Structure 1
Amino acid sequence: MKLFIGYASTEGQTQKIARHLMDRLVGQGHSVELSALDQAGPVDLARFDAAVLGASVHVGQYQSVLSDFAETHADALAAMPTLLLSVSLAAAGHDADDWRGLETILSDFTQATGWTPGQVVQVAGAYEPSKYDVFRRFVMRRIIAAKDPEADLDWDKEYTDWVDLDAQVDSWIVKNAA
């Protein structure tokens, strides 16, 4: 299977996830083109059998580069199997309001872009105060303190469940590799 993996990443966790998937899928015998969407330039999606797009949620939305890409390529994406990896700290928890918020963000995204992903996987991101500016560090500390009272707020912590992510992507590949 020939796959396009495009991603938008702010602090680097979505990029790490995309690279992990590329390595895993190439190891399984698939052909993969990996691209940061802000550096992708023109992409002819007709060259691919399927597409995986990943982006992180910040302040209630995905990065604009993902929205722009999805809107520009909505018809091509609709014609192939697609997977959206929605990366956020909200996906690390079990709070019903957080999950409803993620569904609202996805709904707003699909309405704005005209593209509905074939499958969406909510992926827990990372808390990385070492990469935040002063304002973001303050805001994120408050969020993490409320969501994960056991967390050391001065140190980076990865919440991504790699085993679950691999299982969901493997299942999507099997379903679409026909």
Structure 2
Amino acid sequence: MRVLIVYGSTEGHTRDLCHYAARALGEAGYPTAVEPAGPDASEPDPGPYDAVILAASLHIGRYQAPLVAYARAQHEVLNAKPAVFISVSLSAAGFNPHDWEGCEDCLAKFQHETEWTPALVHHAAGAIRYSQYDFFKRLALKFIAAQRGQPTVTSRNYDLTNYDALRQFVTTFAFGVSQAR
């Protein structure tokens, strides 16, 4: 069984998560390709794969435009085969019900825009990469992080992802698909 992972990433954390997921799937015996969603929404072709994982991160209430365009262009294939979504956000690191409602609202908008309904969704906590932000974004993220009890030392970067949960999600998905075949 072959798995395709297609992602959209702004600062690289979602890309890193997808490569981690591919290693976990490979270790479990599932050959996996990882590709960015690019300007041509028809590529990569999900047709030759048995299962598909899409992943994108939320920034200011939206997922990356190339990944949204890809999901929209491929929605018929994605709806016809086992396909899941990994939504990456800082909100997934917290316990604030308002933040979680926002995640669900963004997911609903994504599903409406793309006409794709993932079989499952995994909300992965993102990363705070202070070293990659300009002064104003660093200040804004520090304020948001402080409000939510997250790290605020701007001389460091923070990875908030629960890698065990991500590994469990992707391997359980692949195992389920392989058993249904």
TM-score, structure 2 as length reference: 0.93
Deviation, structure 1 residue 44: 2.4
Contact 1:145/1:153 (CA < 8 Å) preserved in 2? no
Partner of 1:27: 27
Structure 2 partner of 1:57: 58
Distance 1:105 1:149, change over 3 A: closer
1:87 matched to 2:88? The reply is: yes
Of 158-167 and 142-151, deviating more is 142-151
Instruction: Deviation per CA, 1:34-82: give whole Å up to 9, x if none.
Output: 1011277633222010100111000001011111000000000001111
SS of 1:35's equivalent?
A: strand
Unaligned runs of 5+ in 2: none
Work out the CA distance in 2 between the residues paired with 1:149 and 1:62: 22
Give the match for residue 47 of structure 2. Answer: 46
Query: What letter matches 2:164 in structure 1?
Result: V
CA–CA distance in structure 1, aligned partners of residues 63 and 74 of structure 2: 16
2:37 and 2:70 in contact (8 A); partners too: yes
| CA shift in 2, pair 1:27/1:150, >3 Å | closer
The answer on whether the counterparts of 2:90 and 2:125 sit within 8 Å (CA) in structure 1 is: yes
Q: How does 1:67-146 map to 2 (within 5 A)?
A: 67-146=68-147
Q: Which runs of 4+ in 1 moved over 6 A?
A: none
SS across alignment from 2:47? helix
TM-score (normalised: structure 1): 0.94
| Shift, 1:105, TM fit | 0.1
Determine if contact 2:142/2:152 at 8 Å carries over to the other structure.
no
Distance 1:109 1:149, change over 3 A: closer
For residues 136 and 87 of structure 1, do their structure 2 counterparts lie closer, same or farther at Cα, with a shift above 3 Å needed? same
Change (3 A) 1:38 1:133: farther
Deviation (angstroms), 1:174: 2.0
Structure 2 CA distance, aligned partners of 1:149 and 1:24? Answer: 27
Aligned positions, number: 178
CA deviation after TM superposition for structure 1 residue 30, in Å: 1.2
- Please give the alpha-carbon distance, in whole angstroms, between the structure 2 residues aligned to 1:174 and 1:31: 12
- Equivalent position SS for 1:68: helix
SS of corresponding position for 1:58: coil
- Which residue identity does 1:63 align to in structure 2? Q
- Encode CA deviations 1:79-112: one digit per residue, 9 max, x unaligned: 1111101000000001000000000000001111
Shifted more, 123-132 versus 161-170: the winner is 161-170
Q: Provide the secondary structure at the position in 2 that maps to 1:47.
A: coil
Decide whether aligned partners of structure 1 residues 39 and 15 sit closer, same or farther in structure 2, where only a CA change above 3 A counts: farther
